[in-house]
Amino acid sequence: MEKELHKLAVIFPGIGYTADKPLLYFGRRIAVEYGYEVRIMDYKGFPPKVKGDRNRMEESFFIALRQAEEMLAGVDFTEYDDIVFIGKSIGTIVAAKIAADAAGTAPESPAKTRIRQVLYTPLEDTFRFPIGEAIAFTGDDDPWVGSAKSGAFHAAWSLTRTTRWRARTFSRI
């Protein structure tokens, strides 16, 4: 008899792209179907007119990060056999930061090997953090990723279609 895995999926929405929108809704639904415990980060209190304003974007990141850390305060990532972070836009930065913190600096950290990420339209700052096993969905000329980073990002990833998509692990771009 196989041991049932203890699995966690954490949903990190964007500022205007909430967890009930299609990408995150269906991601959550699939996670539930595959037996994941799902936690949805629900941040509030962002400043107005964030798009195009670096200072407001940074402020928004810290608001979302603080709230996500509070919502995940009681979670011991080492208790899970499999963890998936599903993020959209600013949520990808928050997810990457929390994953990096959970992994710590020890290469043998259990959390490091258990946290995989799905990055929907990641922002440039997402890649300030080490990204382990992940898949990202972004356009070739996505203004939020930045053309220089986008090119480096696409060059660093080797996506091959088998029974599932896989990405090569990389540290920092």
Please determine, for residue 82, whether its predicted confidence score (pLDDT) is greater than 50: yes
- Give the CB-side neighbour count of residue 101, counting CA atoms within 13 A: 12
* Distance, CA of 12 to CA of 64 (rounded, Å): 9
In this structure, are residues 144 and 124 in contact, taking their beta carbons and an 8 Å threshold?
yes
Q: How far is CA 125 from CA 3, 109, 136, 148, 154, in A?
A: 38, 24, 14, 13, 16
pTM for the model stands at 0.79
Domain limits, the chain: 7-166
Band (pLDDT 50/70/90 cuts) for residue 139 is: confident
Mean pLDDT (the chain, rounded): 80
Band (pLDDT 50/70/90 cuts) for residue 108 is: low
For the domain made up of 7-166, the CATH class stated in words is alpha beta
In this structure, are residues 117 and 20 in contact, taking their beta carbons and an 8 Å threshold?
no
Whole-number pLDDT of residue 164: 38
Higher pLDDT, 170 or 110: 110
